[in-house]
């Protein structure tokens, strides 16, 4: 009990020390105003990064490649070290992996009972990308812009290009399901939902961007981070990572199932020939 | 062409390439092996379930067969019991008949023996009577002067004299 009290007192003392240091150390002069920072977070017109030393690209693209590398490395490690040790009575990690795969597989089968092989694999990868990509901003990896300023890598989907790419790709996957299930009729069914790529893209972009803007705003003014503790930001990021993963994968599975469902042609009732 | 929000087709294509790599990689490295394992386990447990069901069915058949055998054995037992009862009854009747025949034979033999004994006794008594008569006759004839007939009568009446004469 005494040790706990001591630990709590130490923790409070450290917090007060850090607060005092933050308040009295003096702020470095900012190179850009808050308006410029927020505008750049949306448009990425200033802070760009040289891709492979050549073309200047948005930081979101670098984040996307980083997320892919992280995911593929993790998947490779799991494939090499974990999957061969799978048992019929699963352990904790095996249970987690099976639940992750089973979740998207069940989602695909439930929403698209007629055709779901590719859909399951797609929504699994898209879900992993959105979830890990959203949490990626918590890492705070630093890169240097073309102007020489350091910036923190944002979530990939807070870049409008990434959101459009994922939204349109999901729409193309839905279209492929329509073609595979119903041929030309499937194309018609899919094209009826012409607003889908835009809504999917901008739903993702808006959700991720709002998180980014709040984070930018909070950490632009250091003192604001004491009003909104970091843990709250982490929890919000986790929450909207889960929500956005669920929304995009569910919508994709739902529309895929709708357009790939074989159409049942109802026979028209014959007119009776007795009527003179 | 200046697209609003700085949309860049080249970067979108790069994102697509990135997503294609990610989807293919995750499919081959994670999704497919885990799903295959899950299917394998499902098939294993399904086969176990089928085996258990077939064994249960087999056990039910064996049980039914043994039950039928048991029912047959009970019927067989009943028939055997009935047969043995009949045999016992028949045997008892035979024994009774045999005993009765033996009894008849014994009675007949006894009767014959009795007949023989009676005949022998009669012959014996006749012989003794003859002997007595002869002795009496000899006594009368040789030792007394009385009328033999009277002597005979006296002897017959136990030594008393005949008063009627």
pLDDT tens for chain B, residues 1 to 165: 567 767 888 899 999 999 999 999 999 999 999 999 999 999 999 999 999 999 999 999 999 999 999 999 988 999 999 999 999 999 999 999 999 999 999 999 999 999 999 999 999 989 988 888 888 778 777 765 667 677 677 777 776 555 554
pLDDT score at B165: 45
Residues of B with CB under 8 A from a CB of A: 5-8, 10-12, 14-16, 18-19, 21-23, 25-27, 29-35, 37-38, 41, 44-45
Confidence of residue A235 (pLDDT cuts 50, 70, 90): confident
- Predicted confidence (pLDDT) per residue in A140-199, tens digit: 888 888 888 888 888 898 888 999 999 999 999 998 988 888 888 778 877 877 788 888
pLDDT more than 90, % of chain A: 36
Confirm if A169 and A248 have CB atoms less than 8 A apart.
no
In this complex, do B33 and A42 lie within 8 Å of one another by their Cβ atoms?
A: no
Confirm if A91 and A97 have CB atoms less than 8 A apart.
no
Q: Which of B14, B29, B33 sits opposite A72 (nearest CB)?
A: B29
Which residues of chain B does A80 touch, with a Cβ-Cβ cutoff of 8 Å?
none
Mutation target to probe the B interface, by most B beta carbons within 10 A, among A118, A162, A165, A171 is A165
Confidence of residue A227 (pLDDT cuts 50, 70, 90): low
**Confidence check: pLDDT of A276 > 50:** no
Alpha-carbon B121 to chain mean position: 57
- Which residue, A30, A31, A41, A43, is CA-closest to A214? A41
The enclosing H or E element of B158 equals none
Q: Which of B7, B22, B44 sits opposite A129 (nearest CB)?
A: B22
Show Cβ contacts of residue A163 under 8 Å, excluding neighbours closer than 6 positions.
A157, A201, A202, A204, A205, A208
In this complex, do A76 and B29 lie within 8 Å of one another by their Cβ atoms?
A: yes
SS3 state of residue B160: coil
**Confidence check: pLDDT of A275 > 50:** no
Taking the CA of residue A57 and the nearest CA in chain B, the distance in Å comes to 7
- Rounded to 5 degrees, φ, ψ at A56 are -80, 125
In this complex, do B26 and A125 lie within 8 Å of one another by their Cβ atoms?
A: yes
Give the predicted TM-score (pTM) of the model: 0.70
How many C-beta atoms lie closer than 10 Å to residue B152's C-beta? 17
Q: How far apart are CA A42 and CA A136, in angstroms?
A: 18
Which residues of chain B does A43 touch, with a Cβ-Cβ cutoff of 8 Å?
5-6
- Interface size A-B, in CB pairs within 8 Å, comes to 109
Question: Quick one: DSSP state of residue A194?
Answer: T
In this complex, do B7 and A121 lie within 8 Å of one another by their Cβ atoms?
A: no
In this complex, do A164 and B37 lie within 8 Å of one another by their Cβ atoms?
A: no
SS3 state of residue A50: strand
Show Cβ contacts of residue A181 under 8 Å, excluding neighbours closer than 6 positions.
A114, A115, A259, A260, A261, A262
Confirm if A141 and A43 have CB atoms less than 8 A apart.
no
Q: Which residue of A has its CA nearest to B5?
A: A43
| Six token digits for residue B37 | 């394992």
Q: Which residue of A has its CA nearest to B13?
A: A165
pLDDT score at B145: 62
Confirm if B14 and A61 have CB atoms less than 8 A apart.
yes
In this complex, do A126 and B23 lie within 8 Å of one another by their Cβ atoms?
A: yes
Q: Which residue of B has its CA nearest to A68?
A: B22
Which residues of chain A does B41 touch, with a Cβ-Cβ cutoff of 8 Å?
88
In this complex, do B25 and A55 lie within 8 Å of one another by their Cβ atoms?
A: no
In this complex, do B18 and A68 lie within 8 Å of one another by their Cβ atoms?
A: yes
The enclosing H or E element of A177 equals helix A160-182
Q: Which residue of B has its CA nearest to A172?
A: B16
- Which residue, A124, A83, A159, A57, is CA-closest to B22? A124
Q: Which of A97, A128, A166 sits opposite B34 (nearest CB)?
A: A97
Domain edges within chain A: 30-260
| Six token digits for residue A93 | 């990690």
């Amino acid at each position: 009990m005494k040790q706990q009290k001591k630990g709590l007192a130490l923790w409070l003392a450290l917090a007060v020390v850090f607060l005092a240091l933050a308040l009295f150390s003096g702020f470095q002069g900012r190179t850009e105003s808050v308006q410029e920072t927020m505008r750049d977070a949306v448009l990425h017109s200033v802070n760009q990064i040289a891709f492979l030393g050549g073309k200047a690209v948005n930081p979101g693209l670098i984040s996307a490649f980083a997320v892919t590398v992280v995911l593929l490395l993790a998947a490779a490690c799991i494939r090499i070290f974990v999957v061969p040790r799978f048992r019929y009575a699963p352990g904790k990690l095996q249970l987690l992996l099976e639940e992750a795969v089973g979740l998207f597989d069940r989602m695909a089968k439930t929403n698209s009972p007629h055709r779901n092989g590719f859909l399951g694999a797609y929504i699994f990868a898209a879900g992993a990308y959105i979830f890990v990509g959203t949490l990626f901003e918590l890492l705070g990896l630093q890169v240097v812009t073309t102007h020489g300023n350091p910036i923190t890598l944002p979530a990939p989907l807070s870049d409008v290009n990434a959101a459009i790419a994922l939204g349109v790709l999901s729409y193309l996957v839905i279209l492929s399901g329509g073609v595979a299930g119903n041929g030309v009729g499937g194309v018609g069914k899919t094209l009826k939902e012409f607003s889908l790529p835009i809504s999917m893209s901008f739903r993702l972009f808006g959700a991720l961007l709002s998180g980014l803007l709040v984070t930018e705003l909070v950490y632009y003014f250091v003192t604001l981070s004491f009003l909104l503790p970091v843990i709250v930001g982490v929890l919000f990021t986790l929450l909207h990572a889960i929500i956005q993963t669920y929304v995009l994968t569910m919508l994709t599975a739902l529309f895929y199932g709708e357009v790939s469902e074989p159409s049942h042609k109802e026979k028209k009732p014959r007119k009776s020939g007795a009527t003179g | 062409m200046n697209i609003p929000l700085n949309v860049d087709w080249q970067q979108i294509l790069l994102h697509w390439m990135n997503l294609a790599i990610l989807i293919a990689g995750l499919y081959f490295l994670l999704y497919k092996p885990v799903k295959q394992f899950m299917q394998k386990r499902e098939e294993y447990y399904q086969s176990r379930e089928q085996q258990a069901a077939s064994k249960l069915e087999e056990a039910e058949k064996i049980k039914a067969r043994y039950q039928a055998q048991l029912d047959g054995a009970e019927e067989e037992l009943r028939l055997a019991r009935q047969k043995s009862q009949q045999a016992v009854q028949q045997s008892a009747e035979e024994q009774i008949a045999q005993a009765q025949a033996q009894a008849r034979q014994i009675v007949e033999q006894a009767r014959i023996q009795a007949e023989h004994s009676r005949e022998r006794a009669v012959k014996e008594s006749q012989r003794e009577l003859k002997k007595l008569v002869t002795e009496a006759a000899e006594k009368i004839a040789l030792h007394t002067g009385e009328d033999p007939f009277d002597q005979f009568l006296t002897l017959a009446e136990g030594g008393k004299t005949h008063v009627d004469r």
